[in-house]
Every structure is written in structure tokens, then in C-alpha cells.
Structure 1
Amino acid sequence: MRTTLTIDDDLAGILQRRARDLGKPFKEIVNSALRNGLLAETKAEPHTVKVRPHDFGGSPGIDLDRLNQLVDELEAQDYQRKAAKR
């Protein structure tokens, strides 16, 4: 298939050097680069992430879902203690 492409100057330079170094036609190098790039995309396996659970060791009687409420209560008690000393 014959077509017209606009190739960035930096890529064209790389392709021309590769063609010269390998002694192959520019057209062959371009086709090879496109083919390799497109095939690599389809063959790439998704990166898997392993997640290991961690026990944060909640204390009995403390609901970790209400941790912010506990912090607020402790801050309020601390404020009351400081206010009573004044």
C-alpha cells in the first residue's frame, strides 16, 4: 500500500540511521518499526498487583469505623481539662 506520512524529524533521523546501519531500505525499517510497536502493544500483559492484608490491631471496644469520632472526643476532653485549669 502506498501512502504519505508525516514523520517527526527526530524519528525520521533515527529511522534513516537504522536503515543506513543495517543496509536496508528506509521503507523496510519503517514497516518493521511499526509492526514491532503495534505487536508489542497487543502482547503486553497487564501488570498485576498483589495486595496483602495487614492487621492494624484494633483494640477491643474501639470501632475502627468510628475512629474519627474517638479522636474528636479525646480532643474535646483534652480541651475541657485545659480550660478547667485556667
Structure 2
Amino acid sequence: MRTTLSLDPDIASQIERLRKERHLPLKKVINDALREGLAHLSEPKKAPQHFRTREADLGTCRLNNLDDISDALAEAEGAAFR
């Protein structure tokens, strides 16, 4: 089948680089890339793996009140905050 293909500049440069490295015609490089890409797209998607964060005891809060961020920063950083 003949068709006209408009390529983005980054894709065109990658194809040209592959063509020169492998000493292959443009048609072969395009067909191989499309074959691999379509095979990849046709693969079933893998189920996401569940990740669990382990709990860690951090002890008690060192600040009395965290409701007012300004007070919490002043207490934590001392005179350097203001």
C-alpha cells in the first residue's frame, strides 16, 4: 500500500539515524518500527502492582499544636522563622 506519512521532526531524525546505522532503506525501517510498535500496543495491559508502605512508629508529636502553621513554624524554627 502506498501512502503519504507526515512525521514529527524528532521521529524523522530517529528514523534517519536508524536507517544510516543499519544501512537499511527507509521503507524497511518504517515497517519494522510500525511492526514492533503495533505488537507492543496489541499486548494486554499488565495489572498494576499493589504497593504497601510499611508503618513506622515516629513517636509523639514534638509540637503542641499543628492547627496554626505560623505558630508551628515559629515553635519549630524559633527566632529564625520571623
More helix by share: 1
Aligned-pair CA distance for 1:27: 1.0
Q: Which residue of 2 aligns with 1:21?
A: 21
Q: Which residue of 2 aligns with 1:9?
A: 9
1:31 aligns with 2:45: no
Please give the per-residue CA displacement for 1:1-48, whole angstroms capped at 9, x wherever unaligned.
100010001100100110110000011101110110010111244224
In structure 1, stretches of 5+ residues that fail to align are 53-86
Identity of aligned residues (%): 35
Considering only aligned residues, what root-mean-square deviation do their CA atoms show, in Å?
Answer: 1.9
In structure 2, stretches of 5+ residues that fail to align are 53-82
Normalised to the residue count of structure 1, the TM-score between the two structures is 0.53
Q: What is the number of residues matched between the two proteins? A: 52
Normalised to the residue count of structure 2, the TM-score between the two structures is 0.55
- Flag as ranges the 4+ runs of structure 1 deviating above 2 A: 47-52
